[in-house]
Amino acid sequence: MTAALRFDPIRLPPVCEELRKEVRAFLAEEIAAGTFDPHKPQREDSDAPEFSRRVGERGWLGMTWPKQYGGHERTFLERYVVTEEMRIANAPTRRFFVADRQSGPVLLKYAPEHIKMDILPRICRGELCFAIGMSEPNSGSDLFAAKTKATKTDGGYLINGSKIWTTSAHIADYMIAIFRTSPPTKENRRHGLTQFLVDMKSPGIKVNPIAQITGQYEFNEVVFTDVFVPDDHLLGEVDGAWKQATSELAYERSGPERFLETYYVLTELVRALGPDPDTRGAEGIGRLVAQLHTMRRMSVSVAGMLQAGKEPVVEASIVKDIGTIWEQQLPHRVRELAAFVDGEASNHATLDELTAFATKLAPKLTIQGGTTEVLRGIIARGLGLR
């Protein structure tokens, strides 16, 4: 047999269900206090610094990190529950989500001790927002074509060039980015890029907003002109960023955010069709729920295997591939079934509004964080085709 795929039927342990209750109670309080409206995922600016601090106070940021850095040494399965409940409630997680999922783990692994001691506890307290500097105007999926330069100077590096599609750059305190420190070699075109931690308050950084088709403002162009980054902000190996991007990817790819991004339209469809839908409505709901349940079981399975120290890299890519396509198609399926909704349904307007928003949002879901095409290449390699 070729490489066998594994999706062990992992169940979340009881501690997760206790935690789930706490998270739900917390979110209900926040909603009641007017912090956010769970029925408004389309809100224009989802930055909520105070909410972020309160999530930190509850101990739900840096959950899996060592205590010495402000973390809580809990399991990835516990973090999973917090993530999915936040997502289902459409909570404003923008400020802390990237730092918690991605940037913190990179710093934990590659930053010098004094930087870890300085920054990680602040992430855990919900005080810091991070951006990721990967894509450039002429290098998107082809990450290793990046040209923005880091040139060695006294005590550090000077950055010149630009990054693009940088989510949250306009509110971020820091960016973790890759810059070119050497040209690629003949043998290895991935050589020559180095990962850096950049303080977004550094002189020479200009953030230009880019409007999106949903009407939301999330991403930006970031232009660097002689931006100084000190030596101790270099993360990992000079010219070796390509070696550093692998292990965290499985977490990034397979989380609940990879299939729940448009979930709200399914809830509203069920509400609109009412307790006694016709056959077509019932079948439509049944299929979507079966697919959702399966996606989640796959995603929990990958989380559990990761927690157990396994490396389900291919499985994680599969979860993102079919998960993002599912959440992308969901508004279209809901739109079809909405034809059978009674005109008197109380949430008619909400359903229409949310379906329209999700339809506009859908195209990005299979692009951000690794396109479908890139993922399928990774899966094909895992299958032994490359």
Partner 1 sequence: MMRNKSVAFLGFDHVRCAVRPVPAALVFVSAFHHHAAQQQDQHACLAIRRVLSAQPGNAVTETDNIVVETAEKIFADLADAQTINADKAETWKAPLWQALSESGLLLSWVPEEFGGSGASVAEGFGVLNAAGRAGLAVPLAETMLAGWLLAQGKIAAPEGAMTIAPAHPKDRIALDADGKLSGRARSVPFAQGAQHIAVLAQSAAGATIALVPASACRIDKGLGVGGDASDVVTLDKVAPIATAPAPDGLNQTSLLLMGVVARSLQIAGALETLLDRSVTYANERVAFEKKIGKFQAVQHNLAKLAGETSAALAAATSAADAISSADGFDEALFLEAAAAKIRCAEAAEKGAAIAHQVHGAIGFTREHILHRFSLRALAWRDDFGNESHWAVELGRMVAKRGADDLWPLVASR
| Footprint of partner 1 (CB under 8 A) | 1-2, 4-11, 20, 84-85, 88, 263, 266-268, 270-271, 273-277, 279, 281-287, 289-298, 301, 304, 314-315, 318, 321-322, 373, 375-377, 379-380, 382-386
**Nearest residue (CB) to partner 1, 56 versus 382:** 382
**Nearest residue (CB) to partner 1, 89 versus 175:** 89
* Cα gap 260→267, rounded to integer Å: 11
Q: Output the smallest distance, CB 140 to partner 1, in A.
A: 17
* Cα gap 298→314, rounded to integer Å: 12
**Nearest residue (CB) to partner 1, 158 versus 270:** 270
**Nearest residue (CB) to partner 1, 231 versus 373:** 373
218 with 167: CB under 8 angstroms?
Answer: yes
**Nearest residue (CB) to partner 1, 1 versus 32:** 1
Q: Output the smallest distance, CB 384 to partner 1, in A.
A: 6
Q: What is the DSSP string of 32-85?
A: HTTS--TT-TT-S----HHHHHHHHHTT-SSTTS-GGGT-----HHHHHHHHHH
**Nearest residue (CB) to partner 1, 15 versus 290:** 290
**Amino acid (one-letter) located at 301:** S
Rg of the chain (C-alpha set): 21
Q: Output the smallest distance, CB 381 to partner 1, in A.
A: 9
Q: Output the smallest distance, CB 138 to partner 1, in A.
A: 22
234, β-bridge pairs: 196
For tokens 């409206």, name the residue.
37
Q: Output the smallest distance, CB 347 to partner 1, in A.
A: 8
* Cα gap 186→386, rounded to integer Å: 20
* Cα gap 232→28, rounded to integer Å: 42
**Nearest residue (CB) to partner 1, 85 versus 257:** 85
Please name the residues in contact with 282: beta carbons below 8 A apart, sequence gap of 6 or more. Answer: none
Q: Which of 256, 236, 232, 238 is nearest to 246 (CA)?
A: 236
* Cα gap 285→269, rounded to integer Å: 8
Q: Output the smallest distance, CB 141 to partner 1, in A.
A: 13
- Residue 139's φ and ψ, nearest 5 degrees, are -150, 105
Q: Output the smallest distance, CB 367 to partner 1, in A.
A: 16
- Give the burial string for 340-363 (b: 16+ CB within 10 Å, else e): bbeeebebbebbeebbebbbbbbe
**Nearest residue (CB) to partner 1, 224 versus 263:** 263
* Cα gap 370→359, rounded to integer Å: 20
**Nearest residue (CB) to partner 1, 50 versus 283:** 283
Q: Output the smallest distance, CB 19 to partner 1, in A.
A: 12
* Cα gap 320→11, rounded to integer Å: 20
**Nearest residue (CB) to partner 1, 127 versus 315:** 315
Q: Output the smallest distance, CB 47 to partner 1, in A.
A: 25
Q: Output the smallest distance, CB 285 to partner 1, in A.
A: 4
One-letter-per-residue 3-state SS of 109-157:
HHCCHHHHHHHHHHHHCCCCCEEEECCECCECCCHHHCCCEEEEECCEE
Residues 121, 370, 94: CA angle, nearest 5 degrees = 40
